[in-house]
Structure 1
């Protein structure tokens, strides 16, 4: 199995879950805070719709919540190693900075994981009909 055929590759690179080739998000919008949440309507390669039904990504909020919890714990542990006493103000500032900086990654990975749970890989675009 080639690396591009692996689900982990597709999830981390926010590729289409059905063909692992098309992009879920437009190029150049990753750290554009006005456009980072824009998604392509469908896969440019296989035609898979990225919003199969209205409200499909509400479940991705649970994935995002898990990532946010990991970020909070990671910031807390990192601060406890860097300073002698962690104050509430220090913790809040560190969390706000971390969450804002990691927001596009959290948002996109959460959606990518969520759609990969429900749509299975069928192979490269040229191996099947839409």
Structure 2
């Protein structure tokens, strides 16, 4: 059995230390509980929230994801739809932000854990 790569672990929301345990209890499309995280990795026991308020920093990652999506949608509207009125931009971009909110929330925390936390992968855990 081959080990899970870092990119696979990030996309699947797996623990940065063992790359086997899930970070979230429910899938992102769950209407209730999409934000419900395990306190510790169910496989290796790693504590995800290292200190109180640790995930406040993941808001910067979330902001980058949202800003990137808004820019892409804005460019698409501008170049492919002939620069429509301002209300069209708002009418397209605002609902898109709401639709990606659960995925954005989860991915920003996963990226924060994997790339900022300094947690090292321990092969064989």
Same fold (TM over 0.5): yes
Compared with structure 1, are the counterparts of its residues 33 and 87 closer, same or farther at alpha carbon in structure 2 (3 Å cutoff)?
farther
Q: How many residues align?
A: 122
Output the CA distance in 2 between the equivalents of 1:9 and 1:34: 25
Gaps of 5+ in 1: 126-130
User: Partners in 1 of 2:35 and 2:80 — Cα distance?
Assistant: 33
Residues 21 and 124 in structure 1, CA contact (< 8 A), matched pair in contact too: no
Moved >4 Å (runs of 4+): none
Q: Counterparts of 2:94 and 2:14 in 1: how far apart (Å)?
A: 29
Question: For 2:124 and 2:103, how far apart are their aligned partners in 1?
Answer: 26
Classify the secondary structure of the residue corresponding to 2:47: coil
* 1:12-91 alignment, distance < 5 Å: 12-27=11-26, 29-91=27-89
Give the distance between the partners of 2:3 and 2:89, measured in 1 at CA.
39
RMSD of aligned C-alpha atoms? 1.5
> Which residue number in structure 2 is paired with residue 128 of structure 1?
none
Other-structure match for 1:120: 120
